[in-house]
Chains A and B, each alone.
Chain A
Amino acid sequence: MADEVILLDFWPSMFGMRTRIALEEKNVKFDYREQDLWNKSPILLEMNPVHNKIPVLIHNGKPVCESLIQVEYIDEVWPGVNPLLPSDPYQRAQAKFWGDYIDKKVYASARLTWGAKGEEQEAGKKEFIEILKTLESKLGDKIYFGGETFGYVDIALIGFYSWFEAYEKFGNFSIEAECPKLIAWGKRCAERESVAKSLPDSEKIIKFVPELKKRFGIE
């Protein structure tokens, strides 16, 4: 029986991008269904009744929610090609730790770079750069976070890279000036087919931010 894979997603979501990339890495054909987050569809509400959030991966009718959980699920269901997590338990624990760190820290501070003003925005920018620097020092001189191969931690972070130019524009700062190695890493990842297929153009995100601000009632 052929697998039926549906992804409920929203094109600018850095979380949805993770799942898209993972599916592409595994060469899994999937039905991408764009969602309107301000008018949630019955399928979204039915498949993620707890959080009503995207992305939702629906595999043969059964939903999996939470992007990093989806990435791990995809890795386990399609183990043959491009492993996303290391096989060594200690390395796996390290990868999950950094995935968790990215989840806990990056979004909140990044949001302040475009969603806040004055002191709050400045504090957000400072924290965001600090977090990126922590990640950059973790990357070190490696090609990818996991070393030679593209994997889980790269996937966890790369979606944010498509938002970097927007953060810089609306926050009025340069990420490259502070974290050149991270920018280089982003460019390397963006050359990968799975990432190129899954990340929107930075320009599109930049055009989207004012619309998003209006939706959130931010001037």
Chain B
Amino acid sequence: MSSGEVKLIGAWASPFVMRPRVALNLKSVPYEFLQETFGSKSELLLKSNPVHKKIPVLLHADKPVCESNIIVEYIDETWSSSGPSILPSHPYDRAMARFWAAYIDEKWFGALRNFLKAEGEEEKKAVIAQMEEGNALLEKAFIDCSKGKPFFNGDNIGYLDISLGSFLAWLRVTELTASHKLLDEAKTPSLCKWAELFCNDPAVKPVMPETAKLAEFAKKIFAKPQA
């Protein structure tokens, strides 16, 4: 079941792509990283994800799995005997992890993305308020899920850590651009501590984009055309 070549179609800057990379690292699964060129989509990508045409796509023995959080669960189930468990074991904790992962993708990331696109002080202020509301919710979620341990998943990083942690590099770029701390030690002390630990995890470090490099990239893709 776990045999067969593993390839991942993705891009270094994508937080969604980072998720399966961390998961594969946690399971010590070697894989070939097929980097897409920004601005174009390869034949392989279009063939492997005809419905959404998006990265990441995991190819396991040439069979595609799409959608980052779904890929992470697939990795956890397929290589279940290797490395720590990525999803919690109790059904209620699993439901909580999935709930917060969905919240992060739908609401929290939406606010972050709006910030990068926001024009004018008014709009930026509104989005910052939205983000801070979201962070407060996640701070409480962390306290509930971690139950005193260092990660959402307990002693080891897991599904929800990966889901939120994959956005940390983009969060840092946003903080730079805004000259405003979005993850504030005073307001969200647990999340700040967690973020530091997450970024230093050996499964995460090799695939977390460097803030400076990402900031350069962000400037390029969000550059407004000259009037």
Secondary structure of the A contact surface, majority rule: helix
- CB–CB A72/B71 < 8 A: no
Contact of A89 among B74, B91, B98, B103 (CB under 8 A): B74
Residues A59-74 near B (CB distance < 8 A): 59, 62, 64-66, 69-70, 72-73
Residues B161-198 near A (CB distance < 8 A): none
- CB–CB A93/B71 < 8 A: yes
Q: Report B-chain residues with C-beta under 8 Å of the C-beta of A177.
A: none
Q: Which of A94-102, A110-118, A142-150, A192-200 is near enough to bind chain B?
A: A94-102
The answer to whether the Cβ of A81 comes within 8 Å of any Cβ in the partner chain is no
The answer to whether the Cβ of A76 comes within 8 Å of any Cβ in the partner chain is yes
Contact of A90 among B66, B74, B102, B137 (CB under 8 A): B74
- CB–CB A97/B92 < 8 A: no
Q: Report B-chain residues with C-beta under 8 Å of the C-beta of A70.
A: 95
In the complex, A96→B74 CA distance in Å? Answer: 10
The answer to whether the Cβ of B94 comes within 8 Å of any Cβ in the partner chain is yes
Q: Report B-chain residues with C-beta under 8 Å of the C-beta of A62.
A: 92
Query: Given that A50-B137, A73-B92, A73-B94 are known contacts, is A93 also in contact with B99, CB under 8 Å in the complex?
Result: no
- CB–CB B99/A90 < 8 A: no
The answer to whether the Cβ of A2 comes within 8 Å of any Cβ in the partner chain is no
Q: Binary interface profile of B, 69-95, with partner A (CB < 8 Å = 1, else 0)?
A: 011011001100000000000011011
In the complex, A29→B71 CA distance in Å? Answer: 34
- CB–CB B91/A77 < 8 A: yes
Query: Given that A92-B77, A97-B66, A134-B51 are known contacts, is A66 also in contact with B92, CB under 8 Å in the complex?
Result: no
Q: How many A-B residue pairs have CB under 8 A?
A: 54
- CB–CB B67/A64 < 8 A: no
Q: Report B-chain residues with C-beta under 8 Å of the C-beta of A92.
A: 73-74, 77
Q: Report B-chain residues with C-beta under 8 Å of the C-beta of A134.
A: 51
The answer to whether the Cβ of B1 comes within 8 Å of any Cβ in the partner chain is yes
Contact of B70 among A64, A65, A97 (CB under 8 A): A97
- CB–CB A72/B95 < 8 A: yes
- CB–CB B99/A69 < 8 A: yes
Residue of A nearest to B134 (CB): A50
In the complex, A62→B71 CA distance in Å? Answer: 28
Most buried by A among B60, B78, B98, B103: B98
Residue of B nearest to A105 (CB): B51
- CB–CB B73/A96 < 8 A: yes
- Return B77 CB to nearest CB of chain A, in Å: 4
Residue of A nearest to B80 (CB): A89
In the complex, A127→B98 CA distance in Å? Answer: 29
- Return B158 CB to nearest CB of chain A, in Å: 16
- Return B159 CB to nearest CB of chain A, in Å: 13
Query: Given that A50-B137, A62-B92 are known contacts, is A90 also in contact with B98, CB under 8 Å in the complex?
Result: no
- CB–CB B51/A69 < 8 A: no
In the complex, A66→B102 CA distance in Å? Answer: 9
Q: Report B-chain residues with C-beta under 8 Å of the C-beta of A90.
A: 60, 63, 65, 74, 78
Query: Given that A89-B1, A93-B65 are known contacts, is A64 also in contact with B92, CB under 8 Å in the complex?
Result: yes
Contact of B98 among A50, A59, A66, A101 (CB under 8 A): A66
- CB–CB A93/B74 < 8 A: yes
Residue of A nearest to B92 (CB): A62
- Return A195 CB to nearest CB of chain B, in Å: 23
User: What are some 8 contacts across the A-B interface (CB < 8 A)?
Assistant: A50-B137, A73-B92, A73-B95, A96-B73, A97-B70, A100-B67, A100-B70, A134-B51
Chain B residues in the interface with A (C-beta under 8 A): 1, 51, 60, 63, 65-67, 70-71, 73-74, 77-78, 91-92, 94-95, 98-99, 102-103, 137
Chain A residues in the interface with B (C-beta under 8 A): 50, 59, 62, 64-66, 69-70, 72-73, 76-77, 89-90, 92-93, 96-97, 100-101, 134
Q: Give the 5 A-B CB pairs with smallest separation, nearest first.
A: A89-B77, A76-B91, A93-B74, A73-B95, A64-B95
